[in-house]
Structure 1
Amino acid sequence: MEENRSEIAKTPRNALGSELARRTGTQAEDWYPVFKARYGMSIVFEELRRLYGPGKVSTQLYTCCTAVDPILTAGLTPEYGDVDRDSIMLDPHTMPVGDDTRAVMMQHTFGLMDVRSSRLLAEKTHAIPNALLIEDSAHCVTRMVRDDDGEALADISVHSFGVEKILPTRFGGAIWVNPGLAGSAPELDRRLRSRLANLPRPGKRLDCVTRMYINENRVLGRMPGGLGSRMRSWLTRVGLYEPPIANVERRGGLGYEPLRPTPWIEMTVLRSLRSLEANEGKRSASVKLLRKSLGGSTVVSIPEQVMAGEPQPLLRFPVFAASTDLAEKIIAALRSTGVYAERWYRPELFPGVENPDAYHVPHDRAHLKVTDELVAGAISIPTDLNPEQVNAVAAIIARQG
């Protein structure tokens, strides 16, 4: 503990921003660390509404509910478009936009970046007065889509260091504000930077529970039967456990006002960034093997952009079965061998919301055909596997045909 205190004390102010800038070829003053990425997003949407009034945010249902909660809490309305089957991002050809569009979400699902589609999203967004292109890089920390000149496409880029992300840090995030915003929307730029730069730190309780999180999960995971789950729920109720997604966040709300990370979180993220290259290298190698092993599968389909070009360091390798029953059968078989496959994102707005109407989920889903098909058959495979595990994954999937 004394060693941690000493390291925290020696960490320069905005050291995290400086490191993120170094890794992205940007400037440290454009990076703003936050306690969780969703809270940083909420500031962006709040300032859009305050400056330009109520409006809509074009986004997708194939996502986590915490990516939509900041839109709702800011008083804006999510408007859902279908996703592109090949990139799992908002389809730029059919995305809903209008004069009241305040922002368009460019989500790099599982860390998959499709430069061509991203550039088209940017072109269509920037044709709308006062609309921002917001890049959701939660699954690909420090990676940003750029134009031919190497300039970042997004007006705002959101990066997460939280649970089930690339880094093993569990908490923290960062918001990047494009310096070009000062020229195109100077008042919005000023408001955003002022708020993001002056966020308060979390109090002692949050500092304590974030430090305890990993050990709490280790202990709770070893409890027999449903005792661990019941204990986790009790600890959450009394404020001694910080869940990845709180109950309020499945009702369209957020658990806290926007906060900066604690010094301990910033130090932990900085430590983890040191091994990012090795982390991404292992994931890219796993993706390469999975592409080779599953590329000819007749049991599951793989998005075209996953198979194209150099292997990307994906957080999860997405495959899709023809039915939910088959997807669940494959997930169960993979988990039985120790490969913890996920069903991201089934249900949509994962892990599901209490009242879809509160999220403005449309009842007429004729324009969401691809979304519905992907949700039904979703299987996401970890990308931190060794070659033997990859071979086992391929064999298990093949047997389901």
Structure 2
Amino acid sequence: MPEPTDPFVIEPRIASQTHTLADGRELIYFDDVDSSLPETRLPDARELAARPPTASMRQDVLTGDWVSIAAARQNRVMLPPADLDPLAPASPTNPSEIPDQYDVAVFENKSPSFGPLLADDNQPEGVEDLATIGIGRTRTSVGRCEVVAFSPASTGSFGALSRTRARTVIEAWARRTHALSQFDAIAQVFPFENRGEQIGVTLHHPHGQIYSYPYITPRTQRLIDSVEQYGPSLFADVLASEQAGERVLLQGEHWTAFVPFAARWPVEIHMMPHRHVPDFAGTTLEERDELAVLYLRLLRGVDALYDTPTPYIAAWHQAPTRVHRDDIRLHLQITSPRRGADRLKYLAGSEAAMGAWIGDIPPETTAANLRAAIARADEENPV
């Protein structure tokens, strides 16, 4: 059986404070341990329109999947110039989403795919309700979408952060996972980072997001099916198998990163904690400290594969908030469509239509290339 989950702990040297934006959305500042910022922060002085209606979901009766129809997202900012960066600290000429200077800031998305429950009689009635199959079923997209601004800088990504700043972001992930998991309507919390225009990012500013869903996501449901077939030791056995193989990239006291046995993407990396932890809220301070170092080394290695930055999705998969906590382990999945210096993998007929994947590069070759890239990055830019 897995070890009991540790009680939720915080790094007391990383201060946080909560504010309210002009339209009622929540904003939370997280300060580095060596921050020079003042405790008092400026209020949001903008005059904002009321928040848009919460999106609605429609069920695909052929799969049971829920599709959020979030029309307000059509109006979001698309690759603005640096002087109009909506994640930069506000200035007289740029009334941004963040009113003052900051180290790390987390706030509710202005046009979310999943949002607060407003006056509505079509809210989900739990995961059992959402698991029911029927034609023409709709529900309000209750949940929460948050933006995590990694830095006040207008360009960059997580891999460009300092070790101290990376640790602050990880602390924010842990605290927000814990807080969001307390909402009855939220079934799963998902922190992630999209990096690069080839992935579809709409802002160059270094940032990630946290999605909180009212249902258990399709990918996690497939994982639950595998656990039920294999047994509760699935993650422990996968980790042991990978640690004994040739695809390990980095290994510390608490975490191991590797290219998985059946990698789908040209670049695909998984990272797992060495003990059973369902989500970031269950990690210890020591695990978060080591992760800040290993994760930076990993991402800098991904960028060192070629002469230009590598587009990727960094997805932190966590257990659902109330079920399967003892057998689904927190783990990272980094994927990139980049299969060469000037080539991308596109999802065509077999992958996009049938979900039947064809790998372009043997995972062992990818692992060897990544280990060499990490070594180059460590030499050029040590953490």
Tell me which protein shows more strand as a share of its residues.
Answer: 2
Provide TM-score, normalisation by structure 2. 0.29
Tell me which protein shows more helix as a share of its residues.
Answer: 1
Provide TM-score, normalisation by structure 1. 0.28
